[in-house]
Structure 1
Amino acid sequence: MPTRILPAGADPDAVRSLVTLLSQLPDAEPQPPVGDSTQLVDTLAHLAAESMDELPEVVVVHERIGPVPALELIREVALRFPAVGVILVTTDASPGLFSAAMDSGARGLVALPLSYEELASRVQAVAQWSTGVRRHLGHGADVFGGAGGTVVTVSGAKGGAGATLTAIQLALAAQASGRPTALVDLDLQTGDIASYLDIQFRRSVVDLAAIADISPRVLADAVFRHDTGLALLLAPAEGERGEEVTDRAARQIVSALRSRYEVVVVDCGAQLSGAGAAVVEMADTALLVTTPDVISVRAAKRTVRMWDRLQIRKGEETTVVVNRHTRHTEIQPALVQRITGTALARTAVPANFKELQAVVDAGRVHELDSRSSVKQALWALAGELGLVKAGEGGHRAGPGRGTVGFRRRKE
């Protein structure tokens, strides 16, 4: 069977020389080259959406590629498409770069100027590795072979706005519809998902923070499997350890989850950390939960402006969810949208804490009665966001108005 090889580089002459040499390799089938990092990821995503078998066995990345630097690009490809072997072509064959490339997920490094023997040897070895990985994944369980799951972040305008409950119910709705779902507690100092679901755990997101190459096995060891089927990655029991989760670590962790699950819901809490900011920036949908009162709406406006100033996310790319809504309050969802300058979820969550109190106190929010108006609204929100399979998000939507933001284009 021929080895499919996808070359990637911004220098047309260098790529032309690379393709010429690749076409001379035995059993090699070079694919049309791609000229930048965005085109490479989009091409792989398109192929993976059809089938994992459609992906090339080998991707050869030239050091002169952009806009994403080569090592960062290799890391993203390795995390999102774990069955694709990546080779870096570079003028710097030093031990330092070799180590950095391996840490990023490359399976090999070839020095410039290109040598036929070295390139042939490396391509053959990486192709064999890729074939072995696909054979293993083909018989594994709980493997998502798509183009990369949908990432949704849930942040609170202020503490107590309802972000954690919202995140949990969105994840439960997605899982119940048959979509493998991971729920991440990235409220690193005060995260409470474990308490809401009444679970005891040993491992947390911190256990993945210092790992350069998060393999499927390493990820599985850190994830807690809940009775509902949700994969939980929890905040540390010792809040001070949250500082170990850097923005880079958070990106890597969420990218690893995205490659394994169709839906990844991240509770970012109400306090902005570097890790939370990184995940909000990379999310397909970023939700900001507020209650319809002056203090909370002002906090939501400050948050939106801060995200914009820090170039984390623009206001129009943020979707506000109004929690504890009543028809009689002076502040209605449309006014919240005008004040914050964001998109607005059509579904508003009604004010009915009596429905929640028993399950919250018991730490069993996953057992919230299906007749609950709060649950119906949150599951309708999941349907509005496209987190549930067609026909599964049939709960009645709440009275909010406006439109939810479109899924953000991946950079």
Structure 2
Amino acid sequence: MPTRILPAVGDADAVRSVTTLLSQLPDAEPVAPVTDSTQLVDTLARLAAESVDELPEVVVVHERIGPVPALELIREVALRFPAVGVILVTSDASPGLFQAAMDHGARGLVALPLGYEELASRVQAVAQWSVGVRRHLGSGADLLTGSGGTVVTVCGAKGGVGTTVTAINLALAAQASGRGSALLDMDLQTGDIASYLDVQFRRSVADLAAITDISPRVLADAVFRHDTGLALLLAPGEGERGEEVGDRAARQIISALRSRYEVVVVDCGAQLGGAGAAAVELADIALLVTTPDVIAVRGAKRTVRMWDRLQIRKAEETTVVVNRHIRGTEIQPALVQRITGTAVAGTTVPAGFKELQSVVDAGRLHALDHRSAVKQALWRLAGELGLAAATEGTRRGGRLRGDRGHRGDRAPAGLRRRREAGG
């Protein structure tokens, strides 16, 4: 049986070198190479959705792959696709990097410049390991397809636009719909989810920052189970501890949550550091909350442009949510769409200070009356995004503005990519 090998190489010259050598290996069947980390994960997810048997036995990751660093990419592949063996191709063959690669889930390391004998030996060993894993899994292999849950990030165009209220309600709607859901507070210095839900907690996301292998038991110890059934992973009570959570830790924490819950909602706040940027980059759906005023819309535009410059996320892969919408105001969703260049959620959220004040002050946002216009709108938004069962109101009015597709394709770009990939 031929060994299917998927190269993940970002550099054009390296692509030619790697694919040429792979094609010369005995019984090798190189697959068309992928050129960045997102394309690799999406390709594997699409194949895994069909069957574990469709996955390549070996993935070869070049050290200059991007935008996700090679070691972090290897960890994500190892967590989500445990029947795939990963080989790291690198110019640094030091014992330190070898150990780091193994710790992140690689099955082998090959030094640059590539040599036929070393590559052939490593590919053969990793392929045999992969075949053995699949044989051991047997009929249960379909349980490890690696698609994981849907990750939704909620960011604010500026402070005070309603980011946390939006994030909490999306998570509550998903949980109430019967989907196991987690809410992660990645607003590391000023996160207030605990206050909105009147939660007293001991452990926070900072307690997971230094852990290199987040097991289900370790994750369960850090998560607070709310009365609604929602799993909460909260920002640290001491704001200075937020600095302990870097982009690497954020990737590991989100990957661990994604493997355990169907929906993971991440409140990133309005100030985006390394951890929040990593969350937005990993997200299947990235929401940017704004209010219909000049300052907030300018902030949304500035954020979208920054994400694009830093290669965190493209404008067309971002969905803006208009909060505190008033029909008669001059700034309407269509104008927001033109200014930001993003999609805009078809569901707008009305202003509701009076109906929110009492439950927010009491720390019982989850007890907001079902007749609340704000709650109805946010739960419709959850249905529009595919996070919860669509209500009649969602089916009538929940269409993303700027999406000219047919009626069956109204999800944001990130969610469409995930659906196409089998997630």
TM-score by length of 1: 0.81
**Matching residue's letter, 2:227:** D
Q: Which of residues 36, 47, 51 is equivalent to 2:34? A: 36
Specify the alignment match of 1:7 in structure 2.
5
Could you tell me whether the CA contact under 8 Å between 2:57 and 2:83 is conserved in 1? no
- Structure-2 separation of matches of 1:334 and 1:351: 18
- Structure-2 separation of matches of 1:115 and 1:247: 32
- Structure-1 separation of matches of 2:85 and 2:198: 41
**Matching residue's letter, 2:202:** R
**Matching residue's letter, 1:356:** L
- Name the SS for the 1:232 alignment partner: strand
Could you tell me whether the CA contact under 8 Å between 2:318 and 2:412 is conserved in 1? no
Specify the alignment match of 1:341 in structure 2.
341
Specify the alignment match of 1:246 in structure 2.
246
- Name the SS for the 1:96 alignment partner: helix
Specify the alignment match of 1:204 in structure 2.
204
- Name the SS for the 1:323 alignment partner: strand
Specify the alignment match of 1:406 in structure 2.
412
Specify the alignment match of 2:58 in structure 1.
59
Alpha-carbon distance, 1:265 to partner = 1.3
Q: Which deviates more, 215-224 or 81-90?
A: 81-90
**Matching residue's letter, 2:247:** D
Could you tell me whether the CA contact under 8 Å between 2:72 and 2:104 is conserved in 1? yes
Specify the alignment match of 2:148 in structure 1.
148
Could you tell me whether the CA contact under 8 Å between 1:346 and 1:403 is conserved in 2? no
Specify the alignment match of 1:357 in structure 2.
357
Alignment of 1:166 onto 2:166: yes
Specify the alignment match of 1:293 in structure 2.
293
Task: Return closer, same or farther for 1:269/1:115 CA change in 2, 3 Å cut-off.
Answer: closer
Alpha-carbon distance, 1:45 to partner = 0.8
Could you tell me whether the CA contact under 8 Å between 2:5 and 2:56 is conserved in 1? no
- Name the SS for the 1:370 alignment partner: coil
Could you tell me whether the CA contact under 8 Å between 1:110 and 1:118 is conserved in 2? yes
**Matching residue's letter, 1:183:** L
Could you tell me whether the CA contact under 8 Å between 1:58 and 1:87 is conserved in 2? no
Specify the alignment match of 1:310 in structure 2.
310
Specify the alignment match of 2:408 in structure 1.
none
- Structure-2 separation of matches of 1:71 and 1:368: 44
Alpha-carbon distance, 1:367 to partner = 2.1
Task: Return closer, same or farther for 1:229/1:394 CA change in 2, 3 Å cut-off.
Answer: farther
Task: Return closer, same or farther for 1:298/1:40 CA change in 2, 3 Å cut-off.
Answer: closer
Alpha-carbon distance, 1:76 to partner = 2.3
Deviation readout 1:192-226 (Å, 9 max, x if unpaired) = 11111222222221122222333333333322222
**Matching residue's letter, 1:256:** A
Alpha-carbon distance, 1:264 to partner = 1.9
Task: Return closer, same or farther for 1:76/1:55 CA change in 2, 3 Å cut-off.
Answer: farther
Alpha-carbon distance, 1:75 to partner = 1.9
- Structure-2 separation of matches of 1:6 and 1:224: 42
Could you tell me whether the CA contact under 8 Å between 1:145 and 1:259 is conserved in 2? no
Structure 2 unaligned spans of 5+: 8-14, 404-410
**Matching residue's letter, 2:376:** Q
Alpha-carbon distance, 1:187 to partner = 0.4
**Matching residue's letter, 1:260:** R
Could you tell me whether the CA contact under 8 Å between 2:150 and 2:264 is conserved in 1? yes
Alpha-carbon distance, 1:60 to partner = 4.7
Alpha-carbon distance, 1:184 to partner = 1.1
Alpha-carbon distance, 1:106 to partner = 1.8
Q: Which deviates more, 225-234 or 299-308?
A: 299-308
Could you tell me whether the CA contact under 8 Å between 1:324 and 1:349 is conserved in 2? yes
- Structure-2 separation of matches of 1:352 and 1:191: 22
**Matching residue's letter, 1:347:** T
Question: Could you say what the CA RMSD is over the residues aligned between the two structures, in angstroms?
Answer: 3.6
Specify the alignment match of 2:175 in structure 1.
175
- Name the SS for the 1:324 alignment partner: strand
TM-score by length of 2: 0.78
- Name the SS for the 1:289 alignment partner: strand
- Structure-2 separation of matches of 1:401 and 1:306: 23
Task: Return closer, same or farther for 1:78/1:121 CA change in 2, 3 Å cut-off.
Answer: closer
* Count, aligned residues: 393
- Structure-2 separation of matches of 1:118 and 1:318: 40
**Matching residue's letter, 2:401:** G
Task: Return closer, same or farther for 1:293/1:276 CA change in 2, 3 Å cut-off.
Answer: same
Specify the alignment match of 1:380 in structure 2.
380
Alpha-carbon distance, 1:88 to partner = 4.5
Alpha-carbon distance, 1:34 to partner = 4.8
Specify the alignment match of 1:27 in structure 2.
none
- Name the SS for the 1:319 alignment partner: strand
- Name the SS for the 1:267 alignment partner: strand
- Structure-2 separation of matches of 1:88 and 1:400: 43
